[in-house]
Amino acid sequence: MLTQNGVPMSRYRAGRLMKYLNLSSCQPGKHQYKNACQEHTCLPNLLERQFAVPEPDRVWCGDITYIWAGNRWCYLAVVMDLFARRVIGWSLSANADTALISSALRMAYEVRGQPRDVMFHSDQGRSVYRTEISTASLALQDKAKCQPTGKLLG
């Protein structure tokens, strides 16, 4: 803003002025990337980066993202069919927990007519690779059971 109004300002001058006025900036920390070949030990990667799927409802993938909603974070879980490349289930919640993921999976399961033999693939983030996901949350209406390998069996 200052340079737009004709006041020359470099980052060093801005730093000196901020120090003089006893101001500090809020900078986010650097993102810590995990090793690309690192895999969670509980759940093997069955998809092996084979994202070209021959037919619908064979492989679903999912992820969670967070959205700033005014004064707090909300979490959005989505489930996508890899064949159609379309979102088939989603859930929004104030908490990133297994209920969020379970709700998105339940929506996808119902919308797609309760398909059988669907593999669910995720990046195995902290809330996704929990034991509850691989057991209780994929037992959709007692019709589907989940193997620890990531296969959803109907």
With 0.75 as the threshold, say if the pTM is over it: no
pLDDT in the model for residue 102 = 85
What is the spatial distance between Cα 143 and Cα 45, in angstroms, rounded to a whole number?
24
Residue 56 amino acid letter = P
Q: What are phi and psi of 129, to 5 degrees?
A: -90, 10
pLDDT in the model for residue 90 = 94
| Cβ pair 82, 60 in contact under 8 A | yes
Q: How many residues in total does the chain contain?
A: 154
Strands 59-69 and 118-122 turn out to be parallel
pLDDT in the model for residue 131 = 46
Per-residue model confidence as pLDDT tens for the chain (154 residues): 777 888 888 989 988 988 999 998 877 777 666 655 554 455 666 666 666 777 888 788 888 888 988 888 999 999 988 888 889 999 999 988 888 888 888 899 898 888 887 877 776 665 444 544 454 344 443 444 443 444 444 4
What is the spatial distance between Cα 15 and Cα 27, in angstroms, rounded to a whole number?
14
What is the spatial distance between Cα 135 and Cα 100, in angstroms, rounded to a whole number?
15
